[in-house]
Amino acid sequence: CLYMTWGLLPNVMNPFGVNSDFTAHNEWVVFVHYLSKYLDWFDTLFIILRKRRAQLSFLHVYHHSTISMVWGFLVFTGNGNGTATYGAWVNSVTHVIMYSHYLWTSFGLRNPFKKLVTTWQITQFWSCLLHAVVVLCFETVYPATVAWLQVLYQITMVYLFTFKLHYVPSWVPEYPEEKKKA
């Protein structure tokens, strides 16, 4: 994630990359970002294997089930470049923050910034929604249909992350040790 964060560092004067040129470098880094979405499935796998039902939200499953398809669509239609690099960049920054948090807490340490991690995640989705709207209004290089896809997807992410964060699907079984704790 750090590689993608650095590789896609936005231009300060045009952070959303509106009307930016498509480059081989950005295409490569976005492709690596796309591949990393499959690694994100390990989050889900570890949560299931560790029987951490409370960590398994509908949002988590939905996001990991759909985001690789979204990035795959962008990459394989030739649109994983230009202004799309903003989404890959901000998501990479988010993953650097999240995995730093996971590393910190894996040592048994309490992260005093835990709420800020969640706040950053929500901010990421809102910024991507804003990005999509800006692209719809001002972009002349990137296809508007792809921007609409981003608008719709980000609306679902903002809604789920902001309002449904702790929903766990009923089909996920409760484990006996969790019932005892409750």
The residue to which tokens 């902001």 are assigned: 162
Whether the Cβ atoms of residue 33 and residue 91 lie closer than 8 Å to each other = yes
Please tell me the distance from the alpha carbon of residue 73 to that of residue 15, in angstroms, as a whole number: 23
Tokens of 13: 């004067």
Q: What is the DSSP letter of 83?
A: G
Please tell me the distance from the alpha carbon of residue 170 to that of residue 151, in angstroms, as a whole number: 28
Active-site residue, 33 included: no
Please tell me the distance from the alpha carbon of residue 123 to that of residue 4, in angstroms, as a whole number: 19
- Annotated active-site residue in 33, 63, 95, 131: 63
The alpha carbon of residue 57 and the mean position of all alpha carbons in its chain are separated, in whole angstroms, by: 15
Catalytic residues: 63
